[in-house]
A = this chain, B = another copy of it.
């Protein structure tokens, strides 16, 4: 039943943990695991005794193309065979076990695996048990540590692909160079202070011309509040232009209205 590897290990894109499913049942679940793996850049999938055999049509259908686009599957008869080349194994389990073992959150586990892989060049794998029953104690025993996802203790049932997704998500989050937070501005740039203060200055003088400030004393504090608000917007050059247009339109509209009203009054008095 053990299939030869379709590629040499060196064909793998970069060192990464293997995902090892022990006694998986539905092909559909294996496919969803493959999809979650490729979402997270993982491609080394190992199956121990897949109940419905391999390859699997239902797995292909559920993988959304992940099985064609990069995930490499190898099938083994025993857990021992599947982990033979690994130097570090982690086992996922939701149930508390009376075992003497280090228990990591997925984040801590991936931090450890990442250090082992990048700093030591070790070969690492993560074990996942069957859908309903989880891992047998014999499989957990060979693991260097256990991974338990911190979930709502009253409702912990994760499906197989979701458990793989959380481990994979921690992996790709630890690999990624994406900043935690970035301010995107499309094709326009964040406005300079000169632009922002120029806009607020124009707004202030236009308001002044329209008798917005009832007393001269309130002007400095209102002006300061406006600088605060406009600074907090973190506006772009484009948005500053839009705002200049708004000021023109509103003040122009008022002028136009006043002009029309004056013309009307003029018309009334003149005609």
A contacts, CB < 8 Å to B: 35-36, 38-41, 64-66, 69-70, 96-105, 107-108, 145, 149-152, 154-158, 161-162, 165-166, 169, 172-173, 176, 178, 180-188, 236, 238-239
Contact = CB atoms under 8 A, between A and B. Distances in A.
Contact of A107 (B100, B154, B180, B236): B180
B184 A169 contact: no
Contact of A181 (B103, B149, B178): B103
A101 to B, nearest CB: 6
A181 B90 CA distance: 13
Contact of A166 (B97, B101, B165): B165
Lowest 4 A-B CB distances belong to which pairs?
A108-B180, A98-B186, A150-B176, A41-B152
Contacts of A166: 165-166, 169
A169 B149 contact: yes
B104 A151 contact: no
B169 A100 contact: no
Which of A101, A145, A169, A186 has most B Cβ within 10 Å? A169
A157 B36 contact: no
Contact of A158 (B39, B99, B156): B39
A236 B101 CA distance: 11
A46 to B, nearest CB: 19
B185 A155 contact: no
Contact of A151 (B96, B151, B172, B183): B172
A124 B152 CA distance: 20
Contacts of A172: 150-152
A48 to B, nearest CB: 24
Given A70-B155, A99-B184, A104-B180, A150 B173 contact: yes
A39 B157 CA distance: 7
Contact of A103 (B40, B165, B184, B238): B184
Contact of A100 (B104, B156, B239): B239
A102 B187 CA distance: 15
Contacts of A238: 100
Nearest to A65: B155
